[in-house]
Structure 1
């Protein structure tokens, strides 16, 4: 179980035909948070030909990163658009490093100009912004049925407009694997169904995260915020809920940050997670 690590990337124009890069050493570091900033991935491909390096490094290329174990399963763990790529020597190896952002092209290429009449409800406005962004979404039902009594006018980027509407109701949004999740504080956006224990993929003992900012700070450890490390589970995304069973923490948590890392040669796959008790 969990042997023979595999990493591959599918590269090409979004919506067009692409090509697969595999059978080379590929390392990744993906930082995913529940904030509005697009998640960033650094992908390093070793000893690729100059021709292929130039092809994958094209800004705007769409990337699907797949990873897993050949004797279990291999799944997509990141989708995004290449911002930049560069090629450099690291000792005896030639590395092509890609900087990739999840949902960046959708958010950055969605300028809008709208005007709604008095009495327009917030869901209508939010739906317009979501359609302009052009990604699938989940959680629209979290927006209450309030209306704009004086109408609503907006000129700018759709992502900023959506944030403005959601802030009105104490909500926020995040983009995870090219899907927009509308988040309500203290509630999960998705249920993974996972029960993480030392026997089912929990790699470290959960530790409480301290709120202390200095030696003289009297604040004690934040009892509801935890850090721990797991094996590679693609569904462990910010906003998602999972259960943890350990000597220090037992119960359901909501993930706020997940850093996926590893490669298919030396470093095993892992996810470093920060979560709050649900």
Structure 2
């Protein structure tokens, strides 16, 4: 069976605070690389054309990020990346791109006491 319908769920926020939930149809790209070295793995996520208030929410200092991704034809979601996040936004032609650098193991990531805000 061929899988074509990729789905994702991205949570970005602060422990004990508000968390932004981003789902399709918003366009994202991501690079996930993992290794066994003791240094944190750095993952890159690009989010396209977010609303200004969403950019502000995902750019808060000391935040964390959790990315789940899979194909819609499969059951459940697969954890792709989780960790501390640093964000910056730039323009590329007509696109406004918010790039998240996610370092696994960089900060404690927990979902205790959060409120998820769908985008």
TM-score past 0.5 threshold: yes
Task: Give the superposition deviation at 1:7.
Answer: 2.2
CA–CA separation in structure 1 for the residues paired with 2:32 and 2:98: 16
Say what the alpha-carbon RMSD is for the aligned residues. Answer: 1.5
Cα deviation 1:248-270 (Å, max 9, x = unaligned): xxxxxxxxxxxxxxxxxxxxxxx
Higher relative contact order by CA 8 Å / sep ≥ 6: 1 or 2? 2
Which residue of structure 2 aligns with residue 79 of structure 1?
Answer: 82
Which residue of structure 1 aligns with residue 101 of structure 2?
Answer: 99
Of residues 56, 59, 67 in structure 1, which corresponds to 2:58? 56
Cα deviation 1:5-36 (Å, max 9, x = unaligned): 11221112125452311121111112211000
Q: Secondary structure at the match of 1:52?
A: helix
Q: Secondary structure at the match of 1:104?
A: coil
Contact 1:7 1:26 in 2 (8 A): no
Which residue of structure 2 aligns with residue 21 of structure 1?
Answer: 22
CA–CA separation in structure 2 for the residues paired with 1:105 and 1:96: 21
Which residue of structure 1 aligns with residue 38 of structure 2?
Answer: 36
Which residue of structure 2 aligns with residue 202 of structure 1?
Answer: none
Which runs of no fewer than 5 residues in structure 2 stay unpaired? 109-119
The structure 1 segments of at least 4 consecutive aligned residues displaced by more than 3 Å after TM superposition are none
Q: Secondary structure at the match of 2:57?
A: helix
With over 3 angstroms needed to count, the CA separation of the structure-2 counterparts of 1:6 and 1:97, relative to structure 1, is same
CA–CA separation in structure 1 for the residues paired with 2:71 and 2:34: 22
Task: Give the superposition deviation at 1:3.
Answer: 2.1
CA–CA separation in structure 2 for the residues paired with 1:45 and 1:89: 12
Structure with higher Rg: it is: 1
Structure with more helix by fraction: 1
With over 3 angstroms needed to count, the CA separation of the structure-2 counterparts of 1:18 and 1:75, relative to structure 1, is same
Which runs of no fewer than 5 residues in structure 1 stay unpaired? 107-278
Contact 2:20 2:57 in 1 (8 A): no
Cα deviation 1:48-107 (Å, max 9, x = unaligned): 01111111012221111011111113221111111x21111112211000111001125x
